[in-house]
């Protein structure tokens, strides 16, 4: 049973010595337990927070198969969504486990479009962003699992959608495949000017995934009454200190006041869990109708998970990054 554990808490960016691979015996279930074999692991930006000595909001999520069961409610061969840790096998007493049936068509989608990222996008946008037809929606990390979903739902709701992504290839995908109206490369020298040109009517909803210089460029363009669902701040997860330059806290508060902005943070597990069935129904029907594109980046081998997470935090992923564990 291979497993990956934290070797040391990172300062700034995680490195090759942050996580280590070790081996243990495969455990045996006792009454009331079952043994799960991990098939797919989700890699998510929030995992950087779990490596710090500070509160974090979610355990790692995985899709696996029941290989032995001493429980009434699950049988050998059932697929489940669970909180396994980064390891080949895990014991479970059933808590926090969601049944995925015996032969799920796309088991890994439970980690992406039908799981936390898809649900986060839908809930943050519909409940806080409250899009109306003709409004302008800006979303950063636009080609990641949350951003792609936010933008595509925005289009379905009649918004003008402007994505922000790292590099020409990602931006072309957002426009050509996802149908966004524009997508701006945040690595361009004139990023702020390009964003302004792409939002001639200002911004009504900014779905915040990254913070940093994207947020700096967005705030002056926000319209009166704009909504900002604060979902994540990836650009800051490896930061070890506050950014250089003048303190802009009071300027930002002034913008919130004068423009009567709604800026609301949310944690999907805490705020909107009761809405999951509504989300699942809407998303399933959009997928069935071919209205939502979903891109996965599957990386083989549990041993490759640490490097894949380090790269995710730097934008090396193109789509939802999933590890196919490949255990024997
Ligand atoms: P992504 O797959 O989109 O991965 C992160 C992306 O962030 C990278 O691919 C990169 O894309 C972008 N990025 C990294 N550094 C920077 C930077 N300095 N400036 C601008 N962009 C940067 O992640 P997810 O779709 O899984 O998650 C998106 C956000 O949603 C995250 O902030 C995450 O923490 C948050 N989240 C919040 C939840 C909640 O309950 N609040 C639940 C789930 C997710 P690019 O190359 O395009 O720059």
Is there an atom of ligand 1 within 6 Å of 234 CB? yes
Cross-strand pairs, 90: 36
- CA torsion 214-323-64-151 (nearest 10°) is 30
Rounded distance from Cα 166 to ligand 1 centre (Å):
11
Cα–Cα distance measured from residue 284 to residue 302, given in angstroms and rounded to the nearest whole number: 30
Q: Note the ipTM here.
A: 0.98
Q: What are the angstrom distances between the C-alpha of 73 and each of 78, 93, 234? A: 10, 11, 39
Considering the four listed CATH numbers 3.40.50.720, 1.40.20.10, 3.40.80.10, 3.20.20.300, the one that applies to the domain covering 117-269 is 3.40.50.720
Write down the domain spans for the chain. 2-112+296-324, 117-269
pLDDT averaged per 10 residues, the chain (length 328): 90 90 93 97 90 74 96 97 92 95 95 97 98 98 97 98 97 98 98 98 98 97 98 92 90 97 95 95 97 96 94 93 87
Alpha carbon separation from 277 to 212, 267, 303 (Å, rounded) = 34, 17, 35
Count CA within 13 A, CB hemisphere, residue 234: 24
Separation of alpha carbons 268 and 58, rounded Å: 10
Report pLDDT for 57.
Answer: 59
- E strand intervals along 144-217: 160-165, 182-185, 203-207
pLDDT digits (tens, 9 = 90+) for 312-321: 999 999 999 9
pLDDT of residue 121: 98
**Cβ(116) – ligand 1 distance below 6 Å:** yes
Distance CA 109, CA 14 (A): 27
Tell me the best of 45, 147, 211, 279 to mutate to test the pocket of ligand 1, counting ligand atoms within 8 Å of each CB and taking the most. Answer: 45
Rounded to the nearest whole angstrom, what is the distance from the C-alpha of residue 242 to the centroid of ligand 1? 19
Query: Fold match between 2-112+296-324 and 117-269?
Result: no
Domain 2-112+296-324 coded CATH 3.90.180.10: yes
CA angle 51, 28, 38 (to 5 degrees): 45
Q: Which is the closest atom of ligand 1 to the Cα of 142?
A: 47
CA 148 to CA 151: how far, in whole Å? 5
Candidates 198, 148, 199; CA nearest to 177 is: 148
**Confidence (pLDDT) at 56:** 65
- Ligand 1 centroid – CA 141 distance (Å): 5
53 Cα to the center of ligand 1, angstroms: 21
Q: How far is the CA of 262 from the centre of ligand 1 (A)?
A: 21
């Amino acid at each position: 049973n291979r497993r990956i554990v934290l070797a040391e808490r990172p300062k700034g960016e995680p490195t090759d010595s942050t996580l280590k691979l070790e081996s243990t015996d495969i455990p045996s279930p006792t009454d009331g337990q079952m043994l799960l074999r991990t098939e797919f692991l989700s890699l998510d930006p929030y995992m950087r927070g779990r490596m710090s000595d500070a509160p974090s909001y979610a355990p790692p999520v995985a899709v696996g198969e029941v290989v032995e069961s001493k429980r009434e409610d699950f049988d050998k061969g059932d697929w489940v969504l669970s909180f396994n840790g980064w390891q080949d096998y895990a014991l479970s007493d059933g808590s926090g486990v969601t049944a995925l049936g015996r032969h799920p068509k796309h088991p890994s989608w439970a980690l992406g479009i039908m799981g936390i990222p898809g649900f986060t996008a839908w809930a943050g946008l519909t409940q806080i962003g409250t899009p109306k037809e003709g409004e302008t929606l800006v979303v950063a990390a636009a080609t990641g699992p949350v951003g792609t979903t936010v933008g595509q739902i925005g289009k379905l709701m009649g918004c003008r959608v402007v994505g922000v992504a790292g590099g020409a290839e990602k931006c072309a995908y957002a426009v050509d495949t996802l149908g966004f109206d524009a997508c701006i490369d945040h690595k361009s020298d004139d990023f702020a000017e390009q964003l302004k040109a792409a939002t001639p009517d200002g911004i009504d909803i900014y779905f915040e995934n990254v913070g940093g210089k994207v947020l700096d460029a967005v705030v002056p363009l926000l319209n009166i009454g704009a909504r900002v669902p604060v979902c994540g701040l990836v650009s800051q997860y490896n930061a070890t200190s506050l950014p250089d330059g003048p303190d802009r806290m009071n300027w930002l508060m002034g913008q919130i006041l004068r423009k009567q902005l709604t800026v609301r943070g949310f944690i999907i597990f805490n705020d909107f869990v009761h809405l999951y069935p509504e989300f699942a129904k809407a998303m399933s029907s959009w997928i069935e109708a071919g209205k939502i594109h979903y891109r996965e980046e599957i990386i083989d081998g549990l041993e490759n998970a640490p490097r894949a997470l380090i790269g995710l935090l730097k934008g090396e992923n193109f789509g939802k990054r999933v590890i196919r564990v490949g255990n024997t």
